[in-house]
Chains A and B, each alone.
Chain A
Amino acid sequence: MKINKAFRHCSGLALLGSLLLAGGAQAQSDSTECIAPAKPGGGYDLTCRLAANGLQETGLIDKPMAVSYMPGGIGAVAYNHVNGVRTDDPNLIVAASTGAAVNLALGKFGQYDATEVRWLGALGVDYGAIVVNADAPWQNLDELMADLRDNPGEIAFGAGGTIGSQDWMKAALTAKAADISPKSLRYVAFEGGGEALAALLGDHIQVFTGDLSELKSQLESGKIRVLAALSEERMNGPYAEIPTAAEQGYDVQWPIWRGYYMGPEVDDEAYYTWVQRFTALSEDPKFAELREARGLFPMSRFGPDFDSYVQEQVGEFKALADEVGLSQ
């Protein structure tokens, strides 16, 4: 009894505390909020901050945007929250990325699928890359692919996600492009790209399927060789020397977009207000600087255009997952 009472007492206090912490976001209905469906400091945090800082600095919102964190299930907790609790909040956006689309395709977000929410738009994009150690014998993608065909068991791929994650998809698609079954691919799942990169530098794995932006410092130091960028065309700046996979005859592209969605019952007025905000933001030169500081390349798809882009992508991922027997 005593314990029960104490618990009730405690939860009351906790509620009070959490209200204080969650801050004005919920209390003042006209200020905006971005949910990063992860712990602080990750890619989703950066995605939210990109919108928050950009909109603030270009004067598109008056009050600073609150960024809150809702980790769990690689985005599933936030997805369910928006579909079940805050379904019509006109001031709430949630960060998403290609990774979320992959998980939706695999049915990992529970009862809700990709058509439930209102996809708002993407503000930037990163691209996959096929990376080997600078001492590796392969000078281009062709040589790697030829070796892979002969000895798929000798070459270990690694990246920062599990089998079925967007990091694995890069490896699987690359193998597929060389007519190698993704099932026979030797793939090692690490916790984040950094650990995988360390394993590549230590020669524990032979190929790292990472993202272009996380490779900048290694490119300068000359410890790695990027065999291919998985982008539509060559990128600028430090990446200008890197050929695309398509140039080398392999049809593999892997854009990792960073975008946002809103609740399923948000009305058109609110939705299009946000679409306009983001469109204006993406055209502002100040924003281009912010985007580049985060290592992202330009991407501007908003509103229904972005929505159909995501639906199409999820469809493709589903087909690939069925093919390699990953669907649940």
Chain B
Amino acid sequence: MFDFLIQGFGVALSPLNLGLAFLGALLGTLFGALPGIGPINGIAILMPLAYTLGLPAESALILLAGIYTGSEYGGRMSSILLNVPGDAGAVMTTLDGHPLAKKGLAGPALGLSAVSSFVGATIAILGLTLFAPLLAEVAVMFGPAEFFALMVFAFASMSVMMGKDPTKTAIGAVLGVLIGTVGIDSGTGVLRYTFGMPELYDGIDFVVMIIGLFAISEILLMLEHANRKDSDGDIPPLGRVFISLKEVLYCKGAMLRSGLIGFIIGVLPGTGASVAGAVSYTTEKRLSDKEGTFGTGDMRGLAAPEAANNAAAAGSFVPMLTLGIPGSGTTAVLLGALMLYNITPGPMMFSERPEVAGGLIASLYIGNLVLLALNLPLAGVFARVLTIPRWVLVPGIAILAFVGVYQLHSDLTAIYLMLIIGVFGYLLRKLGFSLAPVILGYVLGGLMEQNLRRALSISGGDVEILWRSGISLGLWIAAAALLVLPWLLPKLLSKLQPSGKPLEQVEDD
């Protein structure tokens, strides 16, 4: 049964392919670390190169898969160090990662994210090896109605992030949803809020959004603090550099649970690392955040989204390899690369081209080991970014942000848009809003609307379709439970136990 994997390891362990896996991991880390350049660009840039160099199909795929997984590792660096997510999957990483860096724990935070990325990816690759065909069957059971219910569930799970100021969280999420409505309506092709500008037809690009919202507003905050002489804007002390085994073990539950969540979400076509990060973070906060330390630099709050986004990246290979359907934008590009080699992924690939399917999966195992080995010692080096004086760092981030956005669009409108969103983000932060709900509203709102519209076009407007299947019904119930139980349970329990033990002691760890 696992002949293809044995053959695959034979392929992946050849000197050339091992070298390519290493190169891919290194380049991927770099692409992921640079804001604006994500795995899609990295692969699209290198795909023609690999083809022109005449690399065999499995070698090219190993290189490209290395870039993909590597960029999921790299995306966290600017999230943790600068509070600027390097790619879509790393948005949630900022929530606890950056506070850790501010506490002087940048090195351990980077190390921990490398370990959690490794754990998450390993869970997903094991899942991919063992259950790929089975999971593919389940994935196609998710139709528009089920995706809509999933998005409702995701929004409901966000309620845990309400925290100190529920009104501001809700307003932030709604602002995000509003921004997400700009562009051509995906159902009818009607233009919404585009003001006759073709540049807005495709909506506000994700990269423009996160770079504006996070990077530009961060630069503005830094500029504001640069004038002051107080300690507030000072460089944090660069404490110890390496993560301790105790800290890793402290987060093991978060990693395992989030790896599983990330994998499942990654397998579903159309949802990716950003959704996986959000759901795993909120789940973990709900389960483990007894002292309210999430958001202030809790290691588990960093481990959860990191494990999840890497698991989702590996999970999106399932529909691609088994059904020939890309599970994410990046696997869509990989699919294109395979087509160039006249290989059509699908159920037949495992029997017809086992060296390609097996080689790819084997290289994912090897690539992750390489990435762990690469990233643990490098954590100390990268953490030193924080010791760069502000007058170098601020223009540096600005250059990366401008170049990143410009190379995506070859168009100045995107730059202006990024600046406007940046000022908007700066104002939001000054008013005490958290940016994560805005970005989640933007991502989830779009998906939720599209799938609601699709479901209703299928049923001809009959809303019953939304809870007809068992999957969607289950998700609705789970969503309702998320909203009601935290409020209801303590009341019920206090009635049962007059002494009024709070909820925390009843839930198991």
CA distance A195 to B335 in the complex (A): 14
Contact A39 B140 (CB under 8 A): no
Chain A CB count within 10 A is highest, among B202, B395, B453, for: B202
| Contact residues of B between 312 and 360, Cβ < 8 Å to A | 319, 323-326, 329, 332-333, 335-336, 339-342, 344-349
Q: Given A198-B140, A199-B144, are A13 and B398 also a contact pair (CB < 8 Å)?
A: yes
Q: Which of B15-23, B184-192, B429-437 contacts A (4 or more CB under 8 A)?
A: B184-192
Asked if B454 and A188 sit within 8 Å, CB to CB, the answer is: yes
In the assembled complex, the CB of A152 is this many whole angstroms from the nearest CB of chain B, namely 10
Q: Mark B165-204, 1 if CB is under 8 A from A, else 0.
A: 0000000000000000000111111000000101111100
Counting CB contacts under 8 A, is A17 at the interface? yes
The residues of B that contact A6 with a CB separation of less than 8 Å are 219, 223, 394, 398
Docked-complex contact A73 and B187, CB < 8 angstroms: no
Within the assembled complex, what's the spacing in Å between the Cα atoms of A198 and B324?
Answer: 9
Bits for B394-422, please: 1 = Cβ < 8 Å to A, else 0: 11001100110011111101010001000
Q: In chain B, residues 34-49, which have Cβ atoms closer than 8 Å to a Cβ of chain A?
A: 40-41, 43-45, 48
Chain B: CB-nearest residue to A109: B198
Proximity string of chain A (64-90) to chain B, C-beta cutoff 8 Å, 1 when within and 0 when not: 000011111110110111000000000
Across the interface, A70 reaches (CB within 8 A) one of B269, B319, B410, B458, namely: B410
Is A11's beta carbon under 8 Å from chain B?
A: yes
Q: Which residues from chain A contact B395 at a C-beta distance below 8 Å? A: 9-10, 13
Q: Assess the A2–B45 pair: CB atoms within 8 A.
A: no
Give A170 to B346 CA distance when docked, in angstroms: 25
A-B contacts counted at CB < 8 A amount to: 195
Expressed in whole angstroms, the minimum distance between the Cβ of B368 and any Cβ of chain A is 24
A14 to B415, Cβ gap below 8 A?
yes
Q: Looking at the complex, which one of B44, B227, B269 makes contact with A198 (CB distance below 8 Å)?
A: B269
Do B188 and A2 touch across chains, with their CB atoms under 8 A apart?
A: no
Are B408's CB and A69's CB within 8 A?
A: yes
Tell me if B227 and A2 are in contact (CB < 8 A): yes
Question: Which residue of chain B has its CB nearest to the CB of A18?
Answer: B406
Whole-angstrom CA separation of A69 from B202 in the bound complex:
14
Are B402 and A40 neighbours in the complex by a CB distance under 8 Å?
no
**Contacting residues, chain A, for B186 (C-beta < 8 A):** 162, 189, 191
A162 vs B190: C-alpha distance in the bound complex, in angstroms? 9
Say whether B366 faces chain A, with CB atoms less than 8 Å apart. no
Say whether A218 faces chain B, with CB atoms less than 8 Å apart: yes
Assuming the A-B contacts A198-B140, A221-B347, are A73 and B198 also in contact, with contact meaning beta carbons closer than 8 angstroms in the complex? yes
| A293 contacts B201, C-beta separation under 8 Å | no
Residues of B within 8 A of A14 (CB): 398-399, 402-403, 406, 415
Pick the most buried of A69, A74, A188, A198: most chain B CB atoms within 10 A of its CB.
A198
The answer to whether B346 and A10 have CB atoms under 8 Å apart is: no
Interface assignment of B7: CB less than 8 Å from any CB of chain A: no
A72 touches B143 (CB 8 A): no
Q: Is residue B498 within 8 Å, beta carbon to beta carbon, of the partner chain?
A: no
A158 to B340, CA, bound (A): 27
Interface size class of A (residues with CB under 8 A): 35 or more
Instruction: Say yes or no: is B270 at the interface (Cβ < 8 Å to chain A).
Output: yes
List B contacts of A292 (CB < 8 A). 342
Q: Report the separation of the CA atoms of residues A165 and B185 in the bound assembly, to the nearest whole angstrom.
A: 12
B141 part of interface (Cβ distance < 8 Å): yes
- For B400, the closest partner residue in chain A by CB is A17
Contacts of B408 in A (CB 8 A): 39, 69, 71
| Contact between chains at B198 and A7 (CB < 8 Å) | no
Given A13-B399, A21-B407, A201-B140, are A217 and B345 neighbors across the interface (CB < 8 Å)? yes
Q: Are B399 and A220 in contact (CB under 8 A)?
A: no
Q: Which of A7, A22, A80, A153 contacts B460 (CB 8 A)?
A: A153
> Considering the chains assembled together, what is the distance between the CA atoms of A46 and B394 in angstroms?
37
A-B contacts, 12 of them at CB < 8 A, read A6-B223, A11-B402, A18-B407, A46-B336, A72-B413, A186-B458, A189-B187, A189-B188, A194-B332, A195-B269, A199-B143, A221-B347
* Extra inter-chain contacts (11) besides given A17-B406, A293-B342, A294-B339, CB under 8 Å: A2-B223, A13-B395, A14-B415, A39-B408, A72-B413, A73-B199, A73-B201, A77-B198, A186-B458, A218-B323, A326-B189
> Interface of B with A (CB < 8 Å)?
40-41, 43-45, 48, 51-52, 139-145, 184-189, 196, 198-202, 205, 219-220, 223, 227, 269-270, 319, 323-326, 329, 332-333, 335-336, 339-342, 344-349, 394-395, 398-399, 402-403, 406-411, 413, 415, 419, 450, 453-454, 457-458, 460
